[in-house]
Structure 1
Amino acid sequence: MHGGGTPPPHRGCADDGRSHRSTGSNIGGNASTEGSNASTDGGDIPRTPHPAGATPVVTRSAQGGTLKLLLWQAPTILNPHLARGSKDYFASRIICEPLASYDQHGTLVPFLAADIPSLGNGDVAADGTWVIWHLKPGVTWSDGRPFTADDVLFTYEFISNPANAATSGAQYDLVEQVEVVDDHTVKVVFKEPNPAWSLPFVGPRGLIIPRPGVAPATTAVSPTQEVAEVGAEAPANPMMVGTGPYRVVSFVPGDTIVYEANPYFREPGKPFFSRVELKGGGDATLAARAVLQTGEVDFAENLQVEAQVLDQLQQTATSGQVITVSRPLVEHILINQTDPNRETSDGERSSTQFPHPFFSDKRVRQAFAYAMDRETIATQLYGANGRPTSNILVEPPIYRSPNTSYEYRLDQAAALLDEAGWVDHDGDGIRDKDGVIMHVLFQTATGSVRQKTQEIVKQSLEAIGVEVELKSIDSAAFFDNDPANPDTYSHFYADLQMFTIPYDSPDPGAYMQGWICDEITQKVNDWSANNVERWCNPAYDALYAQATREMDPEQRRQLFIQMNDLLVEDVALIPLVHRTRVSGVSNSLEGVELTPWDESVWNIQDWRRR
């Protein structure tokens, strides 16, 4: 049995366990982002009724009261395969689980898998053409249905169906089919030898969603009907079902999610908390203060707060502390290779039909790179939690290129613009060419660090004769997955934009796929692809194709470094700062264990009060 068909509507996700036949696979650096009507006091929580014959398996009820989480970038969807950034993965990771994930050491640990496949146990083909996953027995979805291999197959069917515009598809592109061997065994077959067999169904983009109740064989459901029910508008998407420690009680997109302890969770005595409240909105500084000083919340994520302000909050903290983890987070500027101000006949902007009026010239892109004052941005705004970088591929350290460098040289930037013919013909201080002025719209998500970064960049660009218009967009809208929302980063209706997109595997294959020509985001794919810059370079595509087949780890590492170097040399983007992921945690909370390769709540079943 294999995927590729159109799946019916789905219910949710999955996680846990630590029993395994192998000790785990450490591929670290070598493997080839309110308004609820629910009760706020922990009582009268509406609960999902247990199906007939299903009995919750917990040995005791959760005792810990309410856990309060805060994301200043509010989640907008709970289906992890329609997610647009860490905020959505964070929210879905509380209820959903992958087959396995990577810990802080880059070691694969099982969640829904019974063990980790390896050459030694015979579950990975020597030629990299397939991998077999054995699933934990006795796992139950939070609505009482059994978890089986068919749910893994359904997850693949959902992701691989183009009608769903899944955002996690890059990790599954090399999958030929998913075979259900039996209820607790799946075989993933690849199109060709694949050194990155551990990408599918692993980490935040590998969260398993359940197949809904299967219709009787005599009932015909057309593919059109099924597609209509499984996309972003599916009623089940806001109320996902999972195998993790908590399940959803209520969800107001862009605001608040309320969870309750999953009575079917398989680990005895877990989770500790009876209720979880995830509040979205505000800003990073207020989020930091709510954990460190006022104690209003227990955990806040992604505290992108100015260095001086964060230092002051830490020095006066009474209720919480800052914890950090080095993640593959690079704040970078994306350069639009297309014209955001022209429309196609069907109304699409930033279309590959219309090259950008000046960024299509490499000399102009190089000039903008020289105008970036990375040192000031890193030192003044990030402090100890950021360092200047010229690389987009930064983790694990073995992938950091030694071949790139950066310079802040406005004289060189001006000279390149002169050479490209962009000069100030009319003496108004703004460069122009053939009647077109050098005006750029520079957009990003709201947040004090990003707005101040914009100001630093604007000052430098204006010094070399570029007119700069700044735009900040609410994070919930900027990182939204709605194809009808023109303000999303994937629509990119601007000349420049800035943000960070992390990757969640020590193997960077799926991440580096984001710049191949076939990944250009556009109307035909509902702006769900990853090449937001609309940059297309056949040499890059050739390197990526070679990397997907290269079984030698060292050769593959060199290919990824070459890909990084090409992105930087051709100025497809401008890396600025390698950021540390900064979180705030209450002094009363224990069990929080961060990893670079998954969301902070990946082990939320182990969180408890001191």
Structure 2
Amino acid sequence: MDGKMFLLAATVAGFSLATTPSQAARGSDGEVKILFWQAVSSMNPYLSGGSKEVYAASIVIEPLAGFDEKGTMFPRLAADIPTKANGGVSADNLSITWKLKDGLKWSDGSDVTAEDIAFTWQYCTAPGGGCAQKAKFDGVSKVEAIDRLTAKITFEKPASYPYGPFVGALSPIIQKAQFKDCLGDKAPQCTAANFGPIGTGPYVVKDFKANDVITFAANPNYRDPQKPAFASVTLKGGGDAASAARAVLETGEYDFAWNTVIEPEVMEAMLKAGKGQIASAFSTTVERIHLNPFAVDSALGAKRSTKEAGPHPALSDPAVRRALSLAIDRDILVEAGYGAGGKATCNVIPSPEAFASTGVDWCLKQDLAAANKLLDDAGWKKGSDGIRAKNGVKLSFLYQTSTNSVRQGTQQLVKEWWKEIGVETELRNIPASVYFGSDPASPDTYKKFYADVEMFASGFETTDPAKFLADFRCDKIPSPADGWQGGNVARFCDPAYDALVAELGSAEGQEKRGAIIRRLNDMLVNSGYILPLVVRGEPSAIAKTLVDAKINPWDTQLWNIESWKRGK
């Protein structure tokens, strides 16, 4: 299947992206400065699923294969992409065999071998480890080193899409020698390894200050002797999206700022300085609201926001959930907060186009009258304060998200719309480094979900959403038992959905897979616990002098940092 068909849109504001035909020698272009307003807390994506950690780690540790800006899979550490045609994928879809490029070195000078691949699987699947990317290895029965350069992955059942494990930045290969004593519950304790992994990528960690700044140096053992062009990388974290964009577009202090989602009129003013551009590509990232199905009263202690807490006293009513969605005007959210960088959606899976459903488009049109009628018919009556209640339970919710001006603007609009249907809303915003952090002791992470309502954005990094959809299974709900690392942040649970996910695992052909994916999408949305709002382009601010920083909707925004160089 040609991945090129999946590229939806790419926009660049300001001027054309610069490219040059020649490649500078390794380290000849000095320093490149990157700004993430969401600060990085770890360099180990297996212990944190946050984009900031995955992106930062991707320039040090790499998978067997990745995706280019057009959605085409290409080999990184692998010699080529295994297929049935070349014998790499078995005829029965029960195994895939990967061969490493010969001569690969870790940054410490030691050989990369298939033992490292097999160990990475052992690391993520070790009991008690709380691996954030465990879903990447769903259905894998074993990973074995056949010889020094060959690793075989065997599946429990035929895998129609065998490119989940070790493909994409979420499941890179880690060095066995460095992490061998970090299995299971010991994983979070390996601070030196988690902050400074030995890798195969273009850069190595020189100094790591958690939630602050990371400095990298060019990897002397990188496989391409001409790359990277920059001798060092400084990745600074903190601040907010507007200040990050300004540091590139107006002051020129930085070369690249990721995730610069700010109001359209603010962005236009910054671009007038002429120091940079905004590049954005649409793919699968959806800003969405989750409604907690479980009770969140703090008196519940460790049971809070888990199945053991019992159903939410108000949000367990499907009429309430449907009304909350109908009250939202998604077009206004796009206009006010995203401009050309957003599109209204009702889908959790908005792309590729072949997988996008039209079965839940009921949410695209705001209908306050219908929302009020739903609540009236369900017995939620307005009190003297205008807030609806039923059996002593008020429709009064705590709505949390990360600190970001666009998200706070969205919160305010939603609060006003919900007020029109008799719902009271308390707004809370949490610094992104905390909200998307991996500290199991923090009460403020989005995975703990200690609120009635929360909002964030995520998507999937490949052109096939099977692994992403698998994260909504019942057994993926975060809990104290897994260190709050489960991928099912929404806490959605439906055995029929789980069965359909299993069916997707063996479905072959785009038409058949597309039909199942659309059904799964509709089950998630029609449950009412997940309210998709906006398909977001992932915008980044890029300095005029930074060449070949190509925005990629299917991988990390640092996916080709080894090819970045300084222009005039």
TM bucket normalised to smaller: over 0.9
**Residue in 1 that maps onto 2:517:** 560
1: CA distance between counterparts of 2:49 and 2:178? 28
2: CA distance between counterparts of 1:109 and 1:60? 24
2: CA distance between counterparts of 1:584 and 1:593? 11
Shift of 1:553: 2.7
**Residue in 1 that maps onto 2:66:** 101
Shift of 1:214: 9.5
Which of 485, 502, 508 is 1:528 aligned to?
485
1:129-170: per-residue Cα shift (whole Å, max 9, x none)? 111101011111111211111111111111111321111111
**Is the 8 Å Cα contact of residues 229 and 563 (structure 2) preserved in structure 1?**
yes
**Residue in 1 that maps onto 2:38:** 73
**Residue in 1 that maps onto 2:276:** 320
**Residue in 2 that maps onto 1:264:** 221
After TM superposition, the structure 1 = structure 2 runs for residues 224-235 of structure 1, keeping only pairs within 5 Å, are 226-231=183-188, 233-235=190-192
**Is the 8 Å Cα contact of residues 163 and 231 (structure 1) preserved in structure 2?**
no
Distance 1:562 1:250, change over 3 A: same
Q: Is residue 125 of structure 2 the alignment partner of residue 160 of structure 1?
A: yes
1:99-120: per-residue Cα shift (whole Å, max 9, x none)? 0011122211111001111111
**Is the 8 Å Cα contact of residues 178 and 198 (structure 2) preserved in structure 1?**
no
**Is the 8 Å Cα contact of residues 26 and 230 (structure 2) preserved in structure 1?**
no
Which of 237, 251, 263 is 1:306 aligned to?
263
**Residue in 2 that maps onto 1:464:** 421
SS of residue matched to 1:162: coil
1:36-90: per-residue Cα shift (whole Å, max 9, x none)? xxxxxxxxxxxxxxxxxxxxxxx97511111100001111110011123211111
Q: Is residue 136 of structure 2 the alignment partner of residue 171 of structure 1?
A: yes
**Residue in 1 that maps onto 2:296:** 340
After TM superposition, the structure 1 = structure 2 runs for residues 468-483 of structure 1, keeping only pairs within 5 Å, are 468-483=425-440
Paired amino acid for 2:80 = D
1: CA distance between counterparts of 2:198 and 2:299? 41
Shift of 1:327: 2.3
2: CA distance between counterparts of 1:458 and 1:120? 55
Shifted more, 432-441 versus 258-267: the winner is 432-441
After TM superposition, the structure 1 = structure 2 runs for residues 458-607 of structure 1, keeping only pairs within 5 Å, are 458-607=415-564
1: CA distance between counterparts of 2:57 and 2:469? 24
1: CA distance between counterparts of 2:204 and 2:298? 45
**Is the 8 Å Cα contact of residues 28 and 506 (structure 1) preserved in structure 2?**
no
Distance 1:374 1:114, change over 3 A: same
Shifted more, 495-504 versus 442-451: the winner is 495-504
Paired amino acid for 1:352 = K
Paired amino acid for 2:31 = T
Q: Is residue 241 of structure 2 the alignment partner of residue 284 of structure 1?
A: yes
Which of 108, 128, 131 is 2:93 aligned to?
128
Q: Is residue 328 of structure 2 the alignment partner of residue 372 of structure 1?
A: yes
**Residue in 2 that maps onto 1:418:** 376
Q: Is residue 173 of structure 2 the alignment partner of residue 208 of structure 1?
A: yes
Q: Is residue 106 of structure 2 the alignment partner of residue 141 of structure 1?
A: yes
Shift of 1:408: 0.7
**Is the 8 Å Cα contact of residues 325 and 531 (structure 2) preserved in structure 1?**
yes
Shift of 1:29: 6.7
**Is the 8 Å Cα contact of residues 203 and 217 (structure 2) preserved in structure 1?**
yes
2: CA distance between counterparts of 1:27 and 1:176? 28
**Is the 8 Å Cα contact of residues 444 and 471 (structure 1) preserved in structure 2?**
yes
**Is the 8 Å Cα contact of residues 259 and 276 (structure 1) preserved in structure 2?**
yes
Aligned residues: 547
1:284-340: per-residue Cα shift (whole Å, max 9, x none)? 1111111111110000111111111112222x1321111111121110000100011
**Is the 8 Å Cα contact of residues 29 and 506 (structure 1) preserved in structure 2?**
no
Q: Is residue 340 of structure 2 the alignment partner of residue 384 of structure 1?
A: yes
**Is the 8 Å Cα contact of residues 228 and 234 (structure 1) preserved in structure 2?**
no
Paired amino acid for 2:94 = T
**Residue in 2 that maps onto 1:117:** 82
Which of 387, 395, 402 is 2:351 aligned to?
395
Q: Where in structure 2 are there 5+ consecutive unaligned residues?
A: 7-23
**Residue in 2 that maps onto 1:42:** none
SS of residue matched to 1:80: coil
Paired amino acid for 1:415 = K
1: CA distance between counterparts of 2:265 and 2:353? 28
1: CA distance between counterparts of 2:508 and 2:494? 24
Paired amino acid for 2:368 = L
Distance 1:136 1:343, change over 3 A: farther
1: CA distance between counterparts of 2:191 and 2:542? 35
Q: CA RMSD in A?
A: 1.7
- Structure 1 residue runs of 4 or more that deviate by more than 4 Å after TM superposition: 27-30
Paired amino acid for 1:173 = D
1: CA distance between counterparts of 2:348 and 2:57? 27
SS of residue matched to 2:538: strand
**Is the 8 Å Cα contact of residues 343 and 351 (structure 1) preserved in structure 2?**
no
**Residue in 2 that maps onto 1:360:** 316
Shift of 1:566: 1.1
Shift of 1:463: 1.4
**Residue in 1 that maps onto 2:305:** 350
Shift of 1:522: 1.2
Give the structure-1-normalised TM-score: 0.87
1:495-518: per-residue Cα shift (whole Å, max 9, x none)? 111000121111100111121111
Shift of 1:228: 4.6
2: CA distance between counterparts of 1:80 and 1:265? 21
Paired amino acid for 1:444 = T
Give the structure-2-normalised TM-score: 0.93
1: CA distance between counterparts of 2:178 and 2:394? 59
Shift of 1:533: 2.0
**Residue in 2 that maps onto 1:189:** 154
2: CA distance between counterparts of 1:196 and 1:343? 45
Shift of 1:397: 1.3
Q: Where in structure 1 are there 5+ consecutive unaligned residues?
A: 1-24, 31-58, 216-220
1: CA distance between counterparts of 2:322 and 2:130? 34
**Is the 8 Å Cα contact of residues 26 and 108 (structure 1) preserved in structure 2?**
no
Which of 131, 146, 163 is 1:198 aligned to?
163
2: CA distance between counterparts of 1:82 and 1:559? 31
Q: Is residue 150 of structure 2 the alignment partner of residue 150 of structure 1?
A: no
**Residue in 1 that maps onto 2:252:** 295
